[in-house]
Amino acid sequence: MLRAVLADDAAGRRAAAPRREEVAEDEEAVEEGEAADGIEDLKERLERIEAALDVLAAQRAVKDFYTTGEVAEALGKAEFTVREWCRLGRVRAEKRPCGRGASREWKISHAELTRINNEGLLPQPRPTTRP
């Protein structure tokens, strides 16, 4: 009787157990599904990396000195306005030679740009009267 139970159990296992071909097909389907999921994960990761690179590219490297155009862009003002601030002494700036000839342009230090962002412009100097 024990042999009959064991024989029935073995026959049931054989009937319930999938064939090797079916197992291989199921494994391939799972691998394809996992591969598709893996590809989607990689695409999402790549998009995040590209977004981070765009942010990094948008950030500009800190320079020692900036031109009036660069300061104007950073502050959201016109270049003419920044040149006037330099001329009137509202911003600490220096002149540097540029191009050919005697023309010179303003240069503004990074520390001064940071000060302008944090504290604003220097007070307007009082006009001096001649005796």
Task: Find the domain containing 34 and state its range.
Answer: 23-59
pLDDT 10s per residue in the chain (131 long)?
445 544 555 555 555 555 556 655 656 655 666 777 888 899 999 999 999 888 887 776 788 999 999 999 999 999 999 999 999 999 999 999 887 778 899 999 999 999 999 999 999 888 777 66
Radius of gyration of the chain (CA): 37
CATH number at residue 102: 1.10.10
Domain co-membership, 108 together with 79: yes
**124 domain-assigned:** no
**Residue pair 53/95 in contact by the 8 Å Cβ criterion:** no
Q: What was the pLDDT predicted at 2?
A: 45
Same domain as 113, residue 74? yes
Q: Which residue intervals of the chain are DSSP H helices?
A: 2-16, 20-58, 68-75, 79-88, 110-119
Instruction: Give the SS3 label for residue 105.
Output: strand
Q: What is the pLDDT of residue 5?
A: 46
CB contact set of 25 (below 8 Å; sequence gap of 6+): none
Structural domain includes residue 5: no
Total structural domains within the chain? 2
For 105, list phi and psi in degrees, rounded to 5: -125, 160
pLDDT score for 93 = 96
The per-residue pLDDT for 102 is 82
| Dihedral angle sign, alpha carbons of residues 97, 102, 105, 108 | positive
Both tokens of residue 81?
A: 């306005």
Out of 59, 81, 109, a domain closes at 59
> What pTM value is reported for the model?
0.53
Report the interhelical angle of 68-75 vs 79-88 (nearest 10°). Answer: 110
pLDDT value of position 109 = 95
- Give me the residue label for tokens 């300061």: 71
State the pLDDT at residue 21.
62
